[in-house]
Structure 1
Amino acid sequence: MNRLTADTFRTSHDKFVPYIMSCDPSYEASIEIALALQEAGVDAIEWGVPFSDPLADGAVIQEAGERARASGGSLSKAVEGIKEARKRGLTLPVVLFTYVNPVLSIGNDRLVDQMKDADIDGLIIPDLPFEESRDLRELCGSADISLISLIAPSSKHRMKKICELGDGFLYFVTSLGVTGTREHFSDELENTLQEVTSYSNVPVLAGFGISTRDHVRFFQTVADGVIVGSALVRFIAEREKELSSPIKKENALSEIKQFVQQLIS
């Protein structure tokens, strides 16, 4: 059953989706972080896959990917991690965030089968052009998995086309370039978001560069949800040693939970 419905975000008070990197700083720690985020009250989890050439990722998430790869992270390991998290009580919608090359190395059919077995709800591939996504979109649809499109300000014709095939939610890119924390956003952003929302039959979530409570509050009012990655990934990185310590791990997980609750409160 796909948990990504309009009600997932539009009836939520917090409208918040955190991004974390699977296997960062370890396979076990990332599962425990996901469970802590569920306790924090988030609406879904974006589960990153470490990759050697992550074109959409800024320095913070690139470094997280390097740590994850050093600890044995991969696309298959990321899927396995969600399967294990489900066994331990993770009930939130989970969206896998990866790149085309790892998908090609496994194959579309095999990946979709693995995702279905792990009870993963959605898939984001930022370097898969929308115009080339048809085959994978149909394959995901047959498995009740949402292939989620990124949408950035462009021509009305293209934005409408992407919105028409929106599934799960649309990931609205709030700034050009790669992920990472930012201080300011374009003044035209709110108007463009409203335009995209008017075209879309699924929730529109804003992401890229959103890092402070003020940012979150603003986008909670103009979008159906907010995605925060780099700020949280950096916070986790600062607790790498504690997350590896049996004595200090619980305190580190509590701090991560509190950090997220402060962002969405």
Structure 2
Amino acid sequence: MSSTTIAFEKARAEGRAALVGYLPAGFPTVEGSIAALKTMVAAGCDIVEIGLPYSDPVMDGPVIQAAAQRALEGGVRTADVLKVVEAVAATGAPTLVMTYWNPVERYGVERFAADLASAGGAGLITPDITPDYAQDWIAAADAHDLDKVFLVAPSSTDERIAMTTAACRGFVYATAVMGVTGTRATTSELAAPLVARTKLATDLPVGVGLGVSNGDQAAELAAYADGVIVGSAFVQVFLDHPGDERAALGALATLTEDLAAGVRRA
């Protein structure tokens, strides 16, 4: 059983959903992203997603695009991402990388899997590649005992959901909003039906990414999802505090605590 699955089971035993937090490596700096992610873990994130900044983030909204661009302008490379993984994984929180497929292919699939495992990473979330085109990654992940997290969407057929979940390990990522990422004022009516359909196909935990930005939204989502995934709201904290890392870390801790309380209210 993977460390990610264990974290979900621990949350379930406590009668709540797991809180999954995302931040790109290298934003605002490499060391700053390490400090931020450690703050998120200390304040209540059960599982961490570390973004690998990419020059063509077509599935990301403007907030995460801005963060990735700043990281790239700061010179962040895959080696830096692995450095962040190693530092955050040392906290004991399951630490996954979320990345577009092109950087993994350029780095070398087997090499990436080996280096990610060596850094203590739990696995990889791959939003733009599906299991039927991911044989190389599936083989490398299995060889290095890494989680494989693929995405399902409201547009996925039941057959597609079954195929996707069968290839997953760790959890299934349900993206319940059609379009790019970003915070939203209300949760989507598409989320609960997607989670229900996904759970018919698998016993794996189902985490939902929906643009959650506060504890009340987290509580609403946690009523039916195994995990509440938050990204843009965490990134926005640093965009709101340019050049003031101390203030940003304080605001980040406050936001994480609110979200962690939310998944416990459901």
TM (norm. structure 1) is: 0.91
**Alpha carbons of structure 1 residues 83 and 188: separation in structure 2 relative to 1, 3 Å:** closer
Residue-by-residue CA offset, 1:167-218 (whole Å, 9 max, x unaligned)? 1000001100110112334434312311211221210000032223222111
Matched, 1:111 2:112: yes
Aligned pairs (5 A) from 1:89-128: 89-128=90-129
For residues 84 and 185 of structure 1, the distance between their equivalents in structure 2, rounded to whole angstroms, comes to 33
**Alpha carbons of structure 1 residues 8 and 130: separation in structure 2 relative to 1, 3 Å:** farther
**Alpha carbons of structure 1 residues 128 and 9: separation in structure 2 relative to 1, 3 Å:** farther
**Alpha carbons of structure 1 residues 10 and 93: separation in structure 2 relative to 1, 3 Å:** same
In structure 2, the partner of 1:26 is 29
Unaligned runs of 5+ in 2: 262-266
Identity of aligned residues (%): 30
For residues 258 and 185 of structure 1, the distance between their equivalents in structure 2, rounded to whole angstroms, comes to 21
AA at the equivalent of 2:147: S
Residue-by-residue CA offset, 1:106-149 (whole Å, 9 max, x unaligned)? 01011011101100001012111231012211210111101101
**Alpha carbons of structure 1 residues 184 and 259: separation in structure 2 relative to 1, 3 Å:** closer
For residues 191 and 14 of structure 1, the distance between their equivalents in structure 2, rounded to whole angstroms, comes to 17
SS of the counterpart of 2:72? helix
Aligned pairs (5 A) from 1:162-241: 162-241=164-243
SS of the counterpart of 1:240? coil
For residues 17 and 236 of structure 1, the distance between their equivalents in structure 2, rounded to whole angstroms, comes to 18
- Equivalent residues of 1:123, 1:146 under 8 A apart: yes
Matched, 1:43 2:39: no
Unaligned runs of 5+ in 1: 244-248
For residues 14 and 136 of structure 1, the distance between their equivalents in structure 2, rounded to whole angstroms, comes to 28
SS of the counterpart of 2:145? coil
When the two chains are superposed, the root-mean-square deviation of aligned CA atoms in Å is 1.7
SS of the counterpart of 2:4? coil
For residues 8 and 139 of structure 1, the distance between their equivalents in structure 2, rounded to whole angstroms, comes to 28
SS of the counterpart of 1:241? coil
Matched, 1:261 2:264: no
For residues 33 and 112 of structure 2, the distance between their equivalents in structure 1, rounded to whole angstroms, comes to 21
- Equivalent residues of 1:95, 1:121 under 8 A apart: yes
SS of the counterpart of 1:19? strand
Residue-by-residue CA offset, 1:41-98 (whole Å, 9 max, x unaligned)? 2111110111100121000000000111122212221012222344xx4210011011
For residues 194 and 263 of structure 1, the distance between their equivalents in structure 2, rounded to whole angstroms, comes to 23
In structure 1, the partner of 2:3 is 3
SS of the counterpart of 2:243? helix
Give the C-alpha shift of residue 9 in structure 1: 4.2
For residues 114 and 254 of structure 2, the distance between their equivalents in structure 1, rounded to whole angstroms, comes to 35
* Segments ≥4 residues shifted beyond 4 Å: none
AA at the equivalent of 1:156: D
Q: How many residues align?
A: 257
AA at the equivalent of 1:161: M
AA at the equivalent of 1:125: T
**Alpha carbons of structure 1 residues 135 and 97: separation in structure 2 relative to 1, 3 Å:** same
TM (norm. structure 2) is: 0.91
